[in-house]
Copies of this chain bind each other. A is one copy, B any other.
Amino acid sequence: MATSFSDAVKRLLVGRPFRSDHFRAEALPKRTAMPVFASDMLSSVAYAPDEILLSLAVSGVVALTVSPWIGFVLGVVIVVVVFCYRLTVRAYPGGGGDYEVATKNLGRRFGLAAAAALLVDYVLTLAVSMTVFSGYLAAAFPVLAEHRTLVAVAGIVLVTIAGLRGSFATRSVLGLPTYLFIGAVCVTILVGAVRIASGDVPEAATSGYAVVPEAHADTMLVGLAGVFIVLRSFSSGSVALAGVQTVATAVPRFAAPRGRNAGTTLVITGLLSALMLVGLTWLAGRVGVVYVADPERSLVTPAGLPVGEDFRLDPVLGQLAQAVFSGAPFMFYAVALIAALVLFVAANTAVEGFPGLASRLARDGFLPHQLATRGDRMTFTNGILLLAAAAIVLVVVARADAPQLIQLYLVGVFAAFFLGQWGMIRHWSARIRRIVSSPTRRRMHLNRAVNAVGLVIAILVLSVALVTKFFAGAWIAVVAMVVLYLGMGSIHRHYTRVERELAPDEDENDRRTLPANIHAIVVVTDVHKPTLRALSFARATRPTFMSAVSVAVDEDAADALAKKWDALELPVPLTVLDSPYRELVRPIMNHIGSIRRRSPRDLVVVYIPQYIVGRWWENWLHNQTVLRLKSRLLIVPNVVVATVPWRLRSFNRNRDSLLRRAGDIDSKALDTFR
């Protein structure tokens, strides 16, 4: 196959195309599926503790006593939520997740709302994961600290390329970071616990540092303000729940029995997440980790001095590793790199999830058709590129600041969760009514109770997130969801309308009767070979009436043209149209208008010679008027615009490379195009 340089680069990056008939999505056993799809959820313990401490920081030292409790409550919530989703994936193993549940049980509108929330979430998963990824890389390589936005964007680009390849081949490799991460976190917690139990309490590098109190710090943690801060911290920490959707939408990828396997994976993941989160927040409290958003402004050293510009505040997990393994500094780097790796894998799940959901929506007619077609590697190329673009915009606008992005994150997660749980309750209620077997009914009642608890939790966290985060950024996510929701609605209405409009009539006549006469019009701008070719092609179709038309933009030029035309003794007379205002398009439109007035049911075929150039800038030198004329002609009914290409020598000189660059032409066909 003829290949060009750009083609070679593409192949190098994304690999050989896959044939449709050779393609079968592999089903993954639990031990491979778990680490891959759970990575999103598990990796969140790399930043959830930071968010908890950050939100509490204004309250000073109290943070360290409150944070473990918040961690504990979150752990409990995680466990409840995974049990809820376990029911979802077992009942709906199709991989539609909350979109499917809401659509089937609550109707299309709610399903669309869930889809909008999920789409926004996927974008944020990618943006947040790669932002935190850049933070861990910067912790390991301080030289990167100043270029975090760039690192995060580079990460998105990398994970996008991996997504475009379609990463089936590297599956088992992807599992490794997750296992390593679980190991690293657990070892950190264990060693820390052992050292604390043995009286050798590790001390965080920041343990003596104090947080500069904010303006109204005296009223902090008193009354409503205190409640607000604790709730805000809780909602920030609940980012740890975001990844649960990823498993729910990945069900079709599990080995059979898919629902059961996915459910088990969910529960294991949830328990692990909860354990690690509780452990890390507890340990952070004991070793005195301090974490703030802007150390330069709001942190002072134990001596009471500002920390200065060059001060570097590592993520909580990094600080813990440093404190716990104070004798082995290498462990800090290992933990930071493993965290970066697992975040990369987590980002990859978003790159799989978003295009999958988008293609489902596109097939259902809610998004443009282009999102539904698989590229040559069987991946949904357009969806992946759209996701990457949106994530890059977010990261750049937020300057790779994770806390800021996380403000946007939660509303979508819990909105989808809320719709999903509500849908599940309806699901059980509908089934309970139809079932007589008493043990089954009892199990269903139990399940409905679990989902009801989930619904209550969803409502609570969603309200907390809306109240505490709305003006801090959540409104952006809400606006994005509303826009998506409305947009998908109108796209669907549009497609439906068009489909109905274009359906062939029952009446046969329309299809059988042909236009009586054909008027061929050749547009002449000069007497040269392209015009002569257009003329002979038009004559070859033997139209009923035939004319060559030129516009007298310039009187002298028009006379010269007419003389040249006559000199060649061409078999078609030239009609010169008057153009007092030096326009080219209007006289031709008027001419066609007059033909249509005389014979409205005839077909008018307008032949337009167009130069095909060899270099991009040559387009500025040719074809400009012709392109405008074409776009105008298309709005005339019963007109066919026939473009007669003329390949300029500059095209012919670069012909082979140009034909090849076109990419989608095989060499056998190419030979006939020379």
Contact = CB atoms under 8 A, between A and B. Distances in A.
Interface of A: 17-21, 368-370, 373-376, 491, 494-495, 497-499, 501-505, 510-511, 513-515, 518, 526-530, 532, 535-537, 539-543, 553, 555, 568, 570, 580-583, 585-586, 589-590, 592-594, 596-597, 600, 603, 605, 607, 610-612, 618, 620-622, 624, 630, 632, 634-637, 639-651, 658-659, 662, 664-666, 668-674
A529 B513 contact: no
Contacts of A18: 581
Given A581-B17, A586-B665, A634-B612, A593 B624 contact: no
A642 B605 contact: yes
For the complex of A and B, the 7 pairs showing the least CB-CB separation, nearest first, are: A593-B669, A502-B528, A596-B672, A586-B664, A514-B540, A585-B664, A634-B645
Contacts of A649: 497-498, 501
A490 to B, nearest CB: 9
Contact of A641 (B600, B642, B647): B642
Nearest to A497: B649
A183 B156 CA distance: 66
B603 A540 contact: yes
Nearest to A491: B621
A645 B405 CA distance: 46
B529 A502 contact: yes
A672 B537 CA distance: 27
A647 B635 contact: yes
Nearest to A590: B669
Given A20-B581, A504-B568, A664-B632, A537 B589 contact: no
Secondary structure dominating the interface of A? mixed
A643 B632 contact: no
A427 to B, nearest CB: 29
A597 B597 CA distance: 43
Given A491-B621, A585-B664, A639-B645, 17 more contacts: A18-B581, A20-B555, A20-B581, A373-B582, A376-B581, A494-B621, A495-B621, A498-B611, A498-B650, A502-B646, A503-B528, A586-B666, A593-B669, A635-B662, A637-B673, A637-B674, A642-B642
B514 A592 contact: no
Contacts of A650: 494, 497-498
Contacts of A665: 586, 589-590, 593, 632
Contacts of A669: 589-590, 592-594
A668 B583 CA distance: 17
Contacts of A491: 621
Which among A18, A611, A642 has the greatest number of chain B C-beta atoms within 10 A?
A642
B539 A635 contact: no
A596 to B, nearest CB: 4
A22 to B, nearest CB: 8
Contacts of A369: 621, 624
B518 A541 contact: yes
A510 B535 CA distance: 11
A668 B593 CA distance: 8
14 contacts: A20-B582, A373-B553, A374-B582, A491-B621, A504-B529, A540-B603, A589-B664, A589-B665, A590-B665, A593-B669, A635-B645, A635-B647, A635-B659, A636-B673
Nearest to A585: B664
Contacts of A670: 593
Contacts of A582: 20, 373-376
A611 B621 CA distance: 29
Given A20-B580, A635-B658, A672-B596, A648 B537 contact: no
Given A593-B673, A668-B590, A530 B514 contact: no
B568 A540 contact: no
A611 B610 CA distance: 22
A641 B17 CA distance: 29
Contacts of A374: 582
A116 B282 CA distance: 74
Contact of A513 (B518, B536, B586): B536
Contact of A502 (B504, B530, B597): B530
A649 B497 CA distance: 9
A537 B511 contact: no
Given A495-B621, A532-B504, A19 B596 contact: no
A648 to B, nearest CB: 6
Which among A530, A570, A589 has the greatest number of chain B C-beta atoms within 10 A?
A589
A598 to B, nearest CB: 9
A611 B499 CA distance: 12
Nearest to A530: B502
A503 to B, nearest CB: 6
B511 A528 contact: no
Given A593-B666, A669-B593, A498 B648 contact: yes
